Amino acid sequence: MRFNFFFFIFFIGVSIFSQITPPTPTKNPKPEHVKLINADLEEVNELVFDGNMVYSGNVIAEHETSRLESDSVIYFQDRNFIEARGNVHFTDKQSDLVCDILTYDVPTRTAIAYDHVKLVTPDQTVETDKLIYDANADIAYFDNWGTVYRGQNVTKTKIGKYYVKQNRIELGENSTLESPEYVIYGSDIKYDTQTGIADFNQFTRISNKNDPTVFVTGTTGTYHTKTKESYLKNDGRVHYQGKILSGDDLYFNELTGFGKGIKNVKLDDPKEKRYLIGDYGEVFRFKDSAMVTGRPYMVKILTKDSLYIHSDTLIAIQNKDKKSTIRGFHNGRLFKSNISGKSDSLVYHETIGRIDFYKNPVFWSTGGRQLTADTLSAYLNVQTQAIDSIYGREHAFVISKVDSLSLKFEFNQAKGRMLHAYFQDEELDLVDLQGNAESITYVEEESKTKGKERTGIAKSICGILQGEFIERKMDIVSCRINAESKIYPESKIPERQRFLTEFDWRDEERLRKWDDIFPDVFPYDKDKPKKTIEQILEEQLLEEQEKVEPAEEPAKEIAVARFSKNLVNSGHFPNCVMIRLQI
């Protein structure tokens, strides 16, 4: 007897959350007949199986490239359909399928295997309770949990679609692909067993079994299981050593520890309460370092404030002692609510709370106070995270406006070789200048009738000079070692002699809000030439000659006002220093 034999794979109960669908069977209008090779018994019972033929005992049948062996077979002639029961063993080309029950649709060559199902191919083995197999397309499908074995790799998934010829498997809802080295968990994974490449389009997590702190997550990406490389899109994240790298496009190699991000890159370090942001970033896991460029900046979350740092390039390093350091190269800028600073480069010793500024540094605090030196170091209190002190080395200079609310170009100034500045409650409290110290301060005394009244200008020269800020105004409290100090009537000191050598008021560069750390937000042309004192005085004289003076305004006062205005506009007085600070 002949009957057509075929596997039918069609599953209705597919999860609506999965994009993986059963194979679509192709019907042959004139299928080949199934050949019965052996059956110990053939019988027909009109009361059982609608009178269709039943074969039992060592049943063997063949159809095209398929071969079926089982304890019994029922042939439904009107549908050209077969049902095999007991010790079912079905082979097709290089695929070997065993189960308890199997149905086979001859025209479409589609089989459905039930109970204790095991599909063995040269590359891997699939175990499940129900499996659809398309013998024409060589595709197996299941949607009620299954396990796929390939060497030491084990995959568990609720929905799976196995392309036998391509050695590729698509994993659906709640899938787990596990090897001795990694675990992949997701809901829409396409895994090529030959290349070892897994593509995913829903949330997926890939974990390193040797180091659980290393894992990647994302909704769109590719993972190379052989090279341990991840490629992530959009919302991808790379987790390593407690840090998190995110960005629009991410790459991470678990073997080398190298990762990089492009666009909207963020490197978060929750332990340090700090993150780096930029358009491009690289991380080096085994060196515990990272680099960010492309408008990069750092944000350090403090107890009551935040610290912002920008440079053209930011590098984060953690040494063997677990001490963190942030290095900024070129166009370094810093902002905190009560302080700001600039330099060509800077180093933030995060663990100990020290910030070093190099090459033309400048530091501003509230109340119009400016500190400069060849190098500056700012210290933050580790407990309170508030600014504690500043140390300046070589050519130290302190400048403070006499009246921070006034437009007058008047400054208390002090300079020396070394500077120690101390803060109290986030306000500059004391300054200590050592080595060839000089100062110019505006002296005020309390009057019973007029209140505070300016009495003159003090000039001091000594080896060590100390100043104290009271009500945001600095008083020189100590000037010792070869000290010379004298107070002059204000009228006796010409305007241009009220500035110490190397005086350079850089208020136009001062950062006043956090995003001023970006040069494109707050540009400053450092190459623009500054006017000399002689140029400013010459322009002032020309203006005086051209302007008609009001009768009630003394010419001398107008000249001083215009001279001050020119100085403000120029932003520069070469080689001047101030000691008396008024905040």
pLDDT digits (tens, 9 = 90+) for 27-52: 888 889 999 999 999 998 777 788 88
Residue bearing the bigger pLDDT, 399 or 1: 399
Both tokens assigned to 97: 């399928």
**Stated length of the chain:** 583
Residue bearing the bigger pLDDT, 477 or 209: 209
pLDDT tier, 475 (very low <50, low <70, confident <90, very high otherwise): low
Residue bearing the bigger pLDDT, 519 or 395: 395
What is the rounded CA–CA span in Å between residue 296 and residue 35?
A: 73
Domain ranges of the chain: 1-135, 370-522+531-539+548-583
Instruction: Tell me phi and psi for residue 330, to 5 degrees.
Output: 75, 130
Amino acid at 505: W
DSSP assigned state of 25: P
- DSSP class per residue in 475-531: EEEEEESS-EEEEE-GGGS-GGGSS-BT----GGG---SGGGGSTTTS---TTSPPP
Residue 228 has pLDDT above 90, yes or no: yes
Place of tokens 């140029």: 535
Q: Taking residues 426-431, report their average pLDDT.
A: 84
Percent of the chain with pLDDT over 90: 46
**1-135 has which fold?**
lipopolysaccharide transport protein A fold (2.60.450)
pLDDT tier, 571 (very low <50, low <70, confident <90, very high otherwise): very low
Write the burial class of residue 363 (CB in 10 Å: 0-12 exposed, 13-18 middle, 19+ buried): buried
What is the rounded CA–CA span in Å between residue 55 and residue 149?
A: 34
Q: Taking residues 539-547, report their average pLDDT.
A: 60
pLDDT tier, 561 (very low <50, low <70, confident <90, very high otherwise): very low
> Does pTM top 0.85 for this prediction?
no
Name the 3-class secondary structure at 538: helix
pLDDT tier, 65 (very low <50, low <70, confident <90, very high otherwise): very high
pLDDT value of position 578:
36
pLDDT value of position 547:
54
Q: Please give the mean pLDDT across all residues of the chain.
A: 83
pLDDT value of position 290:
94
